[in-house]
Amino acid sequence: MRRAVVAAVVLAALGAAPQPARAAECSKVVVVALPGVTWSDVARVDPPNIMTAAESGAIGSMSVRTVTGRTSYASGFATIGAGARVDGGRTTGTHSEGASTPDGLFQRDVVVSGLTEMRELADEAGYQARPGALTTALERGLDDFYAFAIGNSDLGLDPPIPFGGGRWAPLAVMDVDGDVPFAATSEVMLEGAEGYPFGVRTSPETAATAISSALSVDGCGLVVIDPGDLTRVDELSITKGDELQDETDRALMAADGLVGVAMGSLTEGDLLLVVSATSPGWDPENHLGVAIASGPGFPSGSMLTSGSTRASDLVTLPDVAPTVMSHFGVEQPPEMLGRPFFARPSEHDDRVAAMVDLDDEAVYSHGIQADIATGYVVFQVFMLGLIVLLLRREGEGGGYLDEHRLVRRCLEWGALAIVSFPLAVYLSSPLPAHELRLIWLVPAMIAIDLALVAIVSFVISQPLDRLMALALATVTLMVVDLTLGGPLQFMAVFGNDPINAGRFAGLGNSAFSVLGACSILAAALMMHKWGGRRWVVPAIAVLFTIVVIADGAPQLGSDVGGVLALVPSLAITFMLLLGKRPSWRVLVAGVIAAIAVLGLFLAIDLGRPLEERTHLGTFFTSVRDRGAAVFFDTLERKARTNLRVFRSTIWTYLVPPALAVIAYLLFRPRGSWRRFAAEYPRLRAGLIGGLVLCVLGFAVNDSGIVVPAMILSFLVPLALLTHLRMQMEA
């Protein structure tokens, strides 16, 4: 009934001529989507209205990743309307014909296509998304609310079937039943234009009239605008496989004109959001997009961030809907996993130039991560083969390594270089990767790595002590970095990747593996060297406690899976270091302790402001509000991700040879394992604890095989250096 009354009022207002002045009873939100636009485009074109909005409000970079690696137009707009990652599917882009308003521009109560497919894909993805959640929540929370979708991205006046349907804006304003209150998305929005992509363009006059009409209506309003021309240029650039810069610039200026129309109709209490819905289609690399918020709560000259990223200058596409909800003061429904934008003071002299630089760095860092990881894995596999080859010669003739001291030292240095490489990666993180490129960045990483090995080799005489120093240095650096907000983790090879958008702050799975493995190595080597001193056991207990806090605390690592794997693994390691054999009871107690620690971190997280909560608090509220199905859906999604990663990552090829070499080192010649257990019980404890961490880390994290592979990168050097030490003593 309420919706019918609001519709009648809107119809009357749209049919009036001239348009009456809008009463200030409720504010408006306008979302202008710019598909395929980056800050580089904005800096190059300098569109006046968009720049005015940027100068008057807050800006940031937009992570546009949704469910799949490449965000489609349907996925981008549907994610805006869901407040969570949504796959738009392949059957969207059109809608049913509805009754026209008196002015002929709008149709009322249209129904989008492909809703069933979107729901199925949302259930399959496991993000608990609900397409259309934004409009449904606003209709329930506001007395006088209306929503308009404006814009047509069809590929021509008579778009070819099955391609060409481009009615994307309705996906952002539909309710959960797929109903769109008002849509100005028909072919009326287009006009033939020679020289434009697909021979059409959005009519500036018609679009301006639609925007002005929508914003003249009394009440609380949400207006989503798809300029159309940008999408058609983006589609044509995909076809040609190259950027169409002149066409892009012209389309961006046309979109800027619509932004100007919207700004002219907004009042002081209204909110304007200008966001990129997708990455440029012509570029095989994904980019960060544009995010601008101008209105209450977003002071001039500030920067955007959100609880989703906890990273200054960065927000995500699912954050748009919660930002709209926050502006209207309506409670965010549990199915919205995004978090509202909020503003922070800027640290940049030129904010736009800083966003261009951030995109360049993010894109390049993302592109080289696989190359550097591949090089690291290949070097380790080479080392594994070399170890077996040389030790077989040692076994055949005896004394080979004693006669060739340089060969022994090369093996030791290679093992130390493997351990120190993650530390070198983090230390090189402040370097501008996109300026240095691989040709200079990789030598810089290698130089830092070799410098670390050289320093510990010069200062410390024993190889195992050198290994301990590197492990302690890595733990120390990571804990200090997390305390400072994790700047070294951001865009690092083993850190957080804003393009991939799995995690923006805290500890990712690779970093958790490094921290956990180094803490176990450091503890085992400390106990081996100073086991008879009173202070060493309390020191190890403090070390393990710090590591768990750094990994799991919401303000630091906020790593749920890491806590579940670390606490039992560290408990078993600690028992072994004390010379006690852990039983199943210890493992069960460790799991219970992990859950208790996680509960403590959850309580801390829930006590923080909503915009600062991590995914732990978000997950808990989702399970509480929507039931256990959310929990099991998440488990299923992680299992699928584990399987996919296992099939696709280079790290898979490291695990079998690494385990084989560890077995070879500790069981050949016969009796080595018994000698290892008798003479180096603390090192054996560290090795067993590391293997336990491999298994648990693999089970509870969604990076799958990457976790044990990374941990084995530290366990193999421990086994090798111990083997060489036993040979020397023999």
Rounded to 10°, the helix 245-265/229-240 angle is: 160
Cβ-proximal residues to 16 (8 Å cutoff; 6+ apart), any chain: none
Per-residue confidence (pLDDT) for residue 727, from 0 to 100: 76
Q: What mean pLDDT is reported for the chain? A: 87
What's the rounded Cα separation, in Å, for the pair 671 and 462? 25
Residue 192 neighbours by CB distance under 10 Å? 11
Instruction: Determine which of 152-161, 236-245, 370-379, 486-495 has the lowest per-residue pLDDT on average.
Output: 152-161
Query: What DSSP string describes 657-720?
Result: HHHHHHHHHHHSSTTHHHHHHHH-HHHHHHHHHHHHHHHHHHHHSTTTTHHHHHHHHHHHHHHH
Check residue 461 and report its DSSP letter. Answer: -
218: pLDDT strictly greater than 50: yes
pLDDT at residue 581, as a whole number: 83
Give the lowest-confidence range in 357-371, 394-408, 424-438, 594-608. 394-408
Cite the DSSP H helix spans in 36-131: 39-45, 48-56, 73-82, 115-125
Q: How confident is the model at residue 4 (pLDDT cuts 50, 70, 90)?
A: low
The rounded Cα 124 to chain-centroid distance in angstroms is 20
For residue 159, what pLDDT is reported?
A: 76
State residue 530's pLDDT score: 92
pLDDT at 654 over 70: yes
Helix (H) or strand (E) holding 175: none
The dihedral region occupied by 36, where left means phi > 0, alpha psi between -120 and 50, and beta the remainder, is left
DSSP designation for 332: P
pLDDT for 19 equals 42
CB crowding 259-285: b at 16 or more within 10 Å, else e? bbbbbebbeeebbbbbbbbbbbbbbee
Q: Among 40-49, 167-176, 649-658, whose mean pLDDT is lowest?
A: 649-658
The total of other beta-carbon atoms located within 10 Å of residue 583's CB is 11
Q: Quick one: pLDDT at residue 17?
A: 37
Q: Where are the domains of the chain?
A: 2-286+306-347, 359-729
What is the structure's pLDDT at 509?
A: 87
| Residue 611 or residue 463, greater confidence | 463
Is there a contact between 567 and 697 (Cβ–Cβ < 8 Å)? no
pLDDT of residue 77: 96
Q: Which pLDDT belongs to residue 518?
A: 96
HSE-CB of 124 using CA atoms within 13 angstroms: 11
Q: Average the pLDDT over 100-125 and give the result.
A: 86
Q: Determine how many CB atoms are found less than 10 A away from the CB of residue 300.
A: 12
Q: What is the pLDDT of residue 51?
A: 97
Neighbours of 38 (CB within 10 A): 24
The four Cα atoms 718, 722, 724, 729 give a dihedral, to 10 degrees, of 160
Backbone dihedral region for residue 489 (phi beyond 0: left; psi -120 to 50: alpha; all else: beta): alpha
Q: What is the 3-state secondary structure (H, E, C) of 231-289?
A: HHHHHHHHHHCCCCHHHHHHHHHHHHHHHHHHHHHCCCCCEEEEECCCCCCCCCCCCCE
Mean pLDDT computed over 645-672:
82
**Domain 2-286+306-347 coded CATH 3.40.720.10:** yes
Q: Where are the beta strands (DSSP E) in 151-254?
A: 179-184, 190-192, 200-202, 220-225
Q: How far apart are CA 627 and CA 356, in angstroms?
A: 42
Mean pLDDT, range 578-588, rounded to an integer: 82
Is there a contact between 580 and 594 (Cβ–Cβ < 8 Å)?
no
Tell me the per-residue pLDDT of 260-285, one tens digit each, with 9 for 90 and over: 999 999 998 999 999 999 999 999 99
pLDDT digits (tens, 9 = 90+) for 6-39: 555 455 556 543 443 444 468 999 999 999 999 9
Examine the pLDDT at 102 and tell me if it is beyond 90.
no
Task: Report DSSP state, residue 84.
Answer: S
Residue 63 clears pLDDT 90, i.e. is over it = yes
Distance from chain centroid for Cα 109:
36
Q: Give pLDDT, residue 512.
A: 92
CB 419 within 8 A of CB 471: yes
Measured CA distances, 561 to 217, 498, 564, 616 (Å): 49, 20, 5, 10
Q: What is the pLDDT of residue 365?
A: 93
Contacts of 561 (CB under 8 A, 6+ apart): 509, 512, 697, 700, 701, 702
From residue 708, give the alpha-carbon distance in Å to each of 385, 391, 558, 700.
19, 25, 20, 12
Higher-scoring residue by pLDDT: 417, 241: 417
Q: Which of 215-224, 469-478, 601-610 has the highest mean pLDDT?
A: 469-478
Q: What is the band of 527 on the pLDDT scale with cuts at 50, 70, 90?
A: very high
Looking at residue 332, what is its pLDDT?
87
In the predicted model, what is the mean pLDDT of residues 64-79? 92
**Residue 631 pLDDT > 90, yes or no?**
no
In the chain, what is the greatest distance between 2 CA atoms, to the nearest angstrom?
100
pLDDT (0 to 100) of residue 97: 77
Please tell me the least confidently modeled range out of 11-20, 129-138, 201-210, 496-505.
11-20
One-letter amino acid of 302: S
pLDDT (tens digit per residue) in 142-186: 988 999 999 999 998 887 666 668 899 999 999 999 999 999 998
Q: State residue 21's pLDDT score.
A: 40
> What's the Cα-to-Cα distance from 370 to each of 366, 449, 648, rounded to whole Å?
8, 19, 11
d(CA 119, CA 425): 41
Coil, strand or helix: which one is 729? Answer: helix
Whole-angstrom distance, CA of residue 638 vs CA of residue 628: 16
Output the DSSP codes for 28-45: EEEEEE-TT--HHHHHHH
pLDDT digits (tens, 9 = 90+) for 700-715: 877 778 899 999 999 9
Q: Which residues of 93-126 are buried (b: 16+ CB within 10 A; e: fewer)?
A: bbbeebeebebebbbbebebbbbebbbebbeebb
What pLDDT is recorded for position 626? Answer: 65
Give the whole-angstrom CA distance, residue 220 versus residue 210. 17
